Structure 1
Amino acid sequence: MTGTGDWRLFRGDGAARRVEFPEAPPWRSFSSGEGRSGPWERPYLIERRHADVVNAALHLRRPLLVTGHPGTGKSSLAHAVAHELTLGRVLRWPVNSRSTLQDALYRYDAIGRLREANLHRGNGEQEPGIGSYVRLGPLGTALAGTGRPRVLLVDELDKGDVDLPNDLLTVFEEGEFEIPELARLPEEQSQVSVLTADPGEEALVHRGRVDCREFPVVVITSNGERDFPPAFLRRCIRLDLPDPDERQLRDIVSAHLGDSSMAAVDGLIQAFLNRRAPGELATDQLLNAVFLRMNGVDMNAEGLLEAVLHRLGGTV
C-alpha cells in the first residue's frame, strides 16, 4: 500500500487540530471489559519439538527455563500455556537487580499496620487483623492455589542477584514456605486470611505455612546474560528458542495480522533479515513495520524504517 500524507497525525507545524486516531495494533489494544486483549489471546506459533519440551516440564512438574534472544517469544510462551490449558491469569514476577525471594513470596506492611492500629486505638475502634497487611507475591500466590495449577512467569531471571537462583531451589523442591509473622501468632489465630497477587482475592494460611497442593507451571525466561549454577539447572527443563527464519517470519506475520498482510510484507522481511544480527532485532519490530505499511504509512520516508527496525544492541 502506498503511503500518503494522510497518515501523519502529528505534523510539527504548531497548528492545533483534532484528529481521529487509527485502530491500534492488536498487541497494543488496552480496551477494558471482557473484550480486553492480552498476549495469551494472540496466536503463538511453536514447533512441535519445542512444544514437546514444554510438555515434558508439565508432566515432571519442573520449572521450564526458556532462553533465547529478545523477541523470540519467551514471555509469551507462559501466556500461551495458560490460555490453551485454561489456567487463568498469568502471575508475573519481573526480576531486576533488587529482586529478592521474599518479594516473590510475600510482603508484610508492618509500618502500615502500626499506623492503622494507633489510629483505631485513638478512635476506640477494634484494630484490624494482621492478614490485612500481608500480601502474597506472585510466587506465593502460585503456591497457595487450591485448585488447578497457576502459571507463574519469572521474567528475566538473569537480571537478578547472583544468589537468587539458589534461593529459589528450596521453594521449588519443597513447594512450601513460612511466613514468620503469622507463625508466631497464638493458637486461636492459627488460620489467617491474607491478600494475594490476584486483585480482590484472598488465601487462607494455616499456622504461618503456605503449602502447594499442585505445583504451579513455572516459566523462567533468560536472555543468556549469565550462567546459572548447576544445582539450579539440574532442577529445570531447558528450552532454547531460536530466531525465526524467513518462512517462520511470514507465518508469524500472517497469524498476527491476517493473510491480507502478505501484500505489505514484500521488502520488509528482507530488510529485517539484512539488519538482523543475533539478538539485535526482535520479531515484534517486523510486525510493527508491516502494520504501519498496511495502514498506509510510507515506510520509505526518511529515517522511518531505521527508527522501527532499530538494533537492540549497542548505544542509542
Structure 2
Amino acid sequence: MTWDAYYRGDGAVRADTPLPAPPPWRRFPSRPAAEVFRPPVGLIDAVNAALALRRPLLITGGPGTGKSTVIEQVAAELALGPVLRWHITSRSSLAEALYRYDALGRIHAHRLQQERMRPGDEGGRDDIASFLHLGPLGTALLPSSRPRALLIDEIDKADLDLPGDLLDVLERGEFRIAELMREGQDAAHVRMWDTDARHLVENGHVQCTEFPFIVMTSNGEQELPAPFLRRCVRYTMPKPTVALIREVVRGHLNMEVSDTGPTADLVDDFVRRVAAGESVAIDQLLGTLHLLNGPARSEGVERERLIGLLMKDLSGA
C-alpha cells in the first residue's frame, strides 16, 4: 500500500513530504455542487411543481443521497442568489429562524454609553435595529424581485410543535418584529442573515412579494403532521441503482466504472447493501473509490481493510 509515502507512525519528521491531492469535492474553494448533481427520475417534476405552486418541496431519503444538493442546482440555474440555510435540531425554534434580538448586547451598549457621558450630557436614544439580525427564514421572506432559495435541513429532527408553527408563517408569507412595533419605530434597517447588508423594515412588518423556493429534507426519523404534509410537494429519493451510481462516479471522479473488476464489485456491493436496508452514503463510496484508485492503491487484505474502514454502516457506533 502506498500509505508509506505519508504518515508512518515512527515519529520521524518529514517536513518536505508532499501530501496527496484532495478529492475533487474537498478542494477549496469548492466546485459548485450544481455542476455535478444528477437529479433522479421524478425530481425535476417535483421541483417545477413546487416552483409553480409556490409550495415547499419536502425531500425524504437516506444520508448522502443528494437531498440538500438539489437546491444548489435550482438556485444556480434560476439565479436565485446564495442559498440560505437553516439546519434543524431538537432545540430549533421558529423565532430564531425569523430574527434574533440581542437584548443583552443592547443593555451592555447602553451601560457603556452611560459610563462615557459627561455631567450635563443628554443620553442619545440607541438604534434598536443594531441589535436585530434576521434569521434565514426571515431573510427569505423579505420582499424581492425574485424568490430566495432556503434549505430547511432535517426537518424531522424538529420539536413536535415546530412544523405547525412554521406552517402558519409559510401560509401567510409574513411575520412581525415585535420589538420594532413595541418601540413604535416606523423604519429600521435590519441586517440580513447571509450578509452584512441591511434591509428596510417598515412598521415592524415583513411581507414577501415572491414566495421563497424552499427545500426541506427529512431522513424519515419522525412522522410529520398531516396538515403540514398536505401543504408540501413531496418527493422520496429512490434507492440507488448501479446505473445511477456509475453516473455519480463519472460526475464526481471523472471515472468510468466497467462492467467487471474491483471497482464494479464495490459499486455492486454498495447498491446491494442499500437495498438491504443498511445505512451507507454515496460520499463514503466516492471517498473509498478515490483512495483505492489513487493515494492508497492496494490489493488483497490491505484493500479489504481500507474498504471496511471507510464503508461502515452509519447506523452503527
Structure 1 length-normalised TM: 0.90
Partner of 1:173: 171
* Partner residue, 2:220: 224
In the alignment, which of 301, 305, 308 is matched to residue 306 of structure 1? 308
**Is residue 4 of structure 2 the alignment partner of residue 11 of structure 1?**
no
Match of 2:249 in 1: 253
- 1:108/1:133 contact within 8 Å kept: yes
- Distance across 1 between alignment mates of 2:3 and 2:19: 15
Report which stretch shifted further, 278-287 or 244-253: 278-287
For residues 176-218 of structure 1, what are the alpha-carbon distances to aligned partners after superposition, in whole Å with 9 as ceiling and x for unaligned? 00110011123xx301011111121211111111110100000
Mark the CA change 1:248 to 1:111 in structure 2 (over 3 Å): closer, same or farther: same
Structure 1 residue 81 corresponds to structure 2 residue 80? no
Residues 280-295 of structure 1: matches in 2 within 5 Å?
A: 280-295=279-294
Between the aligned partners of 1:53 and 1:79, the Cα distance in structure 2 is: 15
The separation in 1 between residues aligned to 2:145 and 2:278, in whole angstroms, is 39
Indicate the larger mover: 299-308 or 130-139: 299-308
1:43-85: CA deviation from partner (whole Å, max 9, x where unpaired): 1111342211110000000000100111111011111211221
Report the Cα offset of residue 127 of structure 1.
5.2
- Deviation of 1:37 after TM superposition, in Å, equals 3.1
One-letter amino acid of the counterpart of residue 117, structure 1? H
Report if aligned partners of 1:139, 1:152 keep a CA contact under 8 Å in 2. Answer: yes
CA contact (8 A) 2:246 2:257 kept: no
Rate the CA distance shift 1:208–1:289 in 2: closer, same or farther, 3 A.
same
Percent pairwise identity: 45
**What do you get for the CA RMSD once the two structures are aligned?**
1.9
Q: Tell whether 2:205 aligns with 1:209.
A: yes
CA contact (8 A) 2:40 2:237 kept: no
SS at match of 1:158: helix
Report the AA paired with residue 168 of structure 2.
T
Could you say which residue in structure 2 is the equivalent of 1:21? Answer: 19
Name which one, 1 or 2, has greater alpha-carbon Rg.
2
CA distance in structure 2 between the partners assigned to 1:179 and 1:108 by the alignment? 9
- Please give the TM-score of this superposition, normalised by the length of structure 2: 0.90
Q: What is the count of residue pairs matched by the alignment?
A: 305
Unaligned runs of 5+ in 1: none
Aligned-partner SS, 1:303? helix
CA contact (8 A) 1:268 1:289 kept: no
Query: In structure 1, what residue type is equivalent to 2:7?
Result: F
Q: Contact 2:55/2:231 (CA < 8 Å) preserved in 1?
A: yes
Q: Which runs of 5+ in 2 are unaligned?
A: 118-122
State which of 10, 29, 33 in structure 2 corresponds to 1:39.
Answer: 33
